[in-house]
Amino acid sequence: MTAADCTVKVINPIQSDSLRNLYIRVTKNDRKDSFLVAEVLRFGRFTETKIPDEPLVQLRELSRLRVEFTQTIGDIKRRILGILDRIFPEFPGCFGNTFGQAAIQVLKTYSDPEQLANADLSELAELLKKYSNGRLSLDKARQLKERAANSFGIRYGLDAFTLELRLLLEQLEFIMGQVKQLDEAITNLMQEHQLILSVPGVGPVLGAAILGEIGDISRFGNAKKLRAYAGLDATVYQSGTFEGSRTRLSKRGSPYLRRALWIAAGTARLHDPVLKSYYERLIARGKHPKQAQAAVASKLCSIIFAVLSKNQPYDPDYLNKNLKDTP
């Protein structure tokens, strides 16, 4: 109830928008949207969305923001690599990680191959040593100077490219610093939610995303409903005597939850003995690696439902017994 004594219900916009297809002429405006919402309420065929508790809302918002920032970081890195391909294509091959601290500081200090080729060897070696924790020094400095001197990168419009590179590097460092702040805030909030960390492949960041998207686990009657909410359920296509045999994931529901489960599954299939064995069995049966990992993600979803609904940590022995007879 609100201060005006009105009952407020939150419904999924997918449900109201689906009614739009009932009308021949597709119209999208405020008046039509209000009419569709009223139709949903009149039919009564809707699922009410429960607003999660404040701590879970905080986890959800911080986790979603972190996803956006990491996607932005990926875009910036691709743009930086595009510039390096033009002006200094040899540079990425000099480092195991083009975006490690040592590599970034070299690019910020020496914007183009000519500056790097003319750099003082001892100063460059000292810079590398400082930002690589002593792993890189004189030999790497010599390699960089040699490759810079013999680079076949373009010189046309070099000033614009070097300025763009420098600004992108500053932006990259700034957003990476913000992601670090988010990680610290998420880790602090997760001190009260240690149970989810017993699930294979789930650390504080993924745990926060999973809890934030699920909210109150009691709103899901069983693991199947939670898998459907994550979009990890299979689509069904059947008409008359025809039934589709090549099913795909529905990918409906929360894309953030599905993403977190997919990443966790990638770790779990490598390090958890039970899920690793399950993954390898699927591969041996001819399943594509993506299909097998999707199956592991689905199992993880069921594990999470059991852990949260029973309020008990993950039991690998119990899971192993249930997976032995899985086809």
pLDDT for 34: 76
* Per-residue pLDDT at 191: 94
For the chain, the structural domain boundaries read 10-49, 56-189, 193-323
Pairing of strands 242-243, 238-239: antiparallel
Model pTM greater than 0.85? no
Into which CATH architecture does domain 56-189 fall? Orthogonal Bundle (1.10)
Beta strands in 110-223 (DSSP E): none
Q: Which residues of the chain have pLDDT under 50?
A: 1, 236-245, 325, 327
Cβ(200)–Cβ(315) below 8 Å: no
- Report the pLDDT value the prediction gives residue 32, as an integer from 0 to 100: 73
In this predicted structure, what is the pLDDT of residue 57?
A: 93
Please give the Cα distance from 193 to 137 (Å, whole number).
43
- At 3 the pLDDT is 62
Residues sharing a CB contact under 8 Å with residue 182, sequence separation 6 or more, in sequence order: 62, 65, 66, 69
Shortest CA distance to 246 belongs to which of 298, 301, 287, 278? 287
Q: Of 106, 123, 120, nearest to 165 (Cα)? A: 106
Alpha-carbon gap, residue 213 to 257, rounded angstroms: 6
At residue 238, the pLDDT reads 44
